[in-house]
Amino acid sequence: MVKLPEPRTKGKVSLEEAINARRSVRQFTQRDLTLEEISQLLWAAQGITDKTRSLRAVPSAGALYPLEIYLITRDGLFRYITEKHALEILEKRDLRSDLAAAALGQSSVKQAAADVVICAVFKRITSKYGERGTRYAYIEAGHAAQNIHLTAVSLGLASLPVGAFDDKSAQAVLKLDKDTTSLYIIPVGAKRD
């Protein structure tokens, strides 16, 4: 387990500035992300914002939270543990090339310092809402993705929304069980000038 630094709740970039500056970037430098940057990005995706009620940074139908967040860096594959604001180490090997291959050869997935992968465990939400719960999970993934993109901007980083990938290949790279589905890949890193 890797404990992440506490996230900041006050930044130097306004929401309006982040929205205005957000662009899809496909070229990244080789600079690794700091643990503080990783902490902020993952907290924005699924972090707890109300410790009393365990509410998170994105809305979730029925507060059922079907999303799971994975991270791939040169140091390995990790799963974000929301309740502990920590990373569970799943593999200590750089899988960015494997994920890029699953993403139909998109070089930005391999080149970025980190790839954040938003996944869903649909049964967490379909158990209450039936098939409509699947739609709610996709909506929640969009909320999480937007938070990641805007947080990247606020940190002086760049990101790219990636939806084009082979589901089975991504599942294999992330070592997901049969109940977990990858929905969205977000390469994040320092923008190459």
pLDDT tens per residue, range 72-113: 999 999 999 999 999 999 999 999 999 999 999 999 999 999
Instruction: Work out the widest C-alpha separation in the chain, in whole angstroms.
Output: 48
Name the one residue in this structure whose structure tokens are 């069980």: 177
Whole-number pLDDT of residue 183 = 97
Positions in the chain short of pLDDT 50: none
For residues 137 and 185, what is the distance between their CA atoms, to the nearest angstrom? Answer: 15
Q: CATH code at 132?
A: 3.40.109.10
Q: Which amino acid is at 170?
A: A
Whole-number pLDDT of residue 27 = 87
The alpha carbon of residue 142 and the mean position of all alpha carbons in its chain are separated, in whole angstroms, by: 11
Whole-number pLDDT of residue 175 = 95
Whole-number pLDDT of residue 83 = 94
Please tell me the total count of domains within the chain.
1
Burial class (CB in 10 A: 0-12, 13-18, 19+), 151: buried
Can you give the three-state secondary structure of the chain, one letter per residue? CEECCCCCCCCCCCHHHHHHHCCECCCECCCCCCHHHHHHHHHHHHCEEECCCCEECCCCHHHCCCEEEEEEECCEEEEEEHHHCEEEEEECCCCHHHHHHHCCCCHHHHHCCEEEEEEECCHHHHHHHCCHHHHHHHHHHHHHHHHHHHHHHHCCCEECCECCCCHHHHHHHHCCCCCCEEEEEEEEECECC
Whole-number pLDDT of residue 19 = 86
Whole-number pLDDT of residue 14 = 87
Burial class (CB in 10 A: 0-12, 13-18, 19+), 17: middle
Shortest CA distance to 138 belongs to which of 152, 123, 124, 118? 118
Whole-number pLDDT of residue 102 = 97
Query: Containing domain of residue 134, as a range?
Result: 2-189
Whole-number pLDDT of residue 192 = 82
pLDDT tens per residue, range 168-182: 999 999 999 999 999
Token pair for residue 52? Answer: 């009393």
Whole-number pLDDT of residue 173 = 97
